[in-house]
Amino acid sequence: MDTFALVVTIAVALFFTYTNGFHDSANAIATSVSTRALTPRAALAMAAVMNLAGAFLGSGVAKTVSEGLIATPTGKQGMMILFAGLVGAITWNMVTWYFGLPSSSSHALFGGLVGAALAGASTVHWDGVLEKIVIPMVISPIVGLVLGYFVMVIIFWIFRKANPHKAKRGFRIAQTVSAAGMALGHGLQDAQKTMGVVVMALVISGVEDQGDPIPVWVKIACAAMLSLGTYAGGWRIMRTLGRRIIELDPPQGFAAETTAASVMYSASFMFNAPISTTHVITSAIMGVGATKRISAVRWGVAKNIILGWFITMPAAAGVAAGSYWIVNLAFG
């Protein structure tokens, strides 16, 4: 039963990674596709490859997820908590994907883990949740918004005398690089989050000890599933990010992607903080768009997106808690 529970939990974790990939593929490529810098399929293929590469760049985020948020008991109860947390995250991912709302898969996962832990009477490291999840959740979009605005202002100033048509062609090419950087950062962040959950499952089952390095097969499996999900695409959310917030041109797309990638690399390597790629790229798009004129950004759409950000963690936590009670009733 313990082995079966471990296999099922890991399978569900990998499926979450897959939903994360197609849910968040828009983060890396929506701006490039909307400005016609890349065709949709070429963009998706590039993003899938870079996601795969990014997953192997570090392990700090995975350690934060596996050790810094909740403390689960070993054995069946701990595995049920993980399983229920993943169910909560997957459910919220599917709901927001259906409605085309670019919510955070990361915060769906964190909300699911916390909700399941509370339902299972396990310890939640509230200091870690506050320091590594809540504070970055608030700060990273603000940084993305402000930095995106100033990056775009700098681009305007540097290219103020350039031929507009030549500049746009150049930035369309440059967007290939910035989109690749964004996709690399997505792999660095989001593949590691699931690695952390799989490591938790291995520790709970006694296969690994706390503090052991992440097994290579875990890295490969999580990276591959994220890449497959990315290639499957998330067209509903892509339309929201690429068109409904603001109509982007190549310089704006380049500025937004460069800004978001920079924030993700800083969070990963400097703070080991698992931030939301969705929050960062969305806020960067808003900041870049605001340089055109404030009214150019469709703030009504932005308001709905921001509302989704605040709903995500408690909604996923509620679903995860309900899932834990059902699983506990059936198998506890």
Average pLDDT over residues 1-22: 88
Contact assessment for residue 112 and residue 312, using Cβ atoms and an 8 Å cutoff: no
pLDDT (0 to 100) of residue 162: 87
Least confident of 3-12, 53-62, 189-198, 301-310: 301-310
C-beta neighbour count of 53 within 10 angstroms: 15
How far apart CA 196 and CA 183 sit, in angstroms, is: 20
pLDDT of 305 strictly over 70: no
For residue 302, the model assigns a pLDDT of 66
**Residue 14 scores a pLDDT above 60:** yes
Predicted pLDDT at 286: 85
Q: What is the pLDDT of residue 246?
A: 56
Range in 155-159, 208-212, 241-245 the model is least confident about: 241-245
pLDDT at position 21 over 60: yes
Percent of the chain clearing pLDDT 70 (strictly above): 89
Residue 196: pLDDT over 60: yes
State yes or no: pLDDT of 281 exceeds 70.
yes
Cα 4 from Cα 202, distance rounded (Å) = 12
Say what the pLDDT of residue 28 is: 66
The least confident of 43-57, 81-95, 151-165, 217-231 is: 43-57
User: What's the pLDDT at 301?
Assistant: 61
CB-based burial label for 198 (10 Å; 0-12, 13-18, 19+): buried
Domain ranges of the chain: 2-331
Alpha-carbon dihedral sign for residues 130, 131, 133, 136: positive
Residue 297's pLDDT band (boundaries 50, 70, 90)?
A: low
- Chain mean pLDDT for the chain: 85
User: How many angstroms separate the CA atoms of 311 and 95, rounded?
Assistant: 12
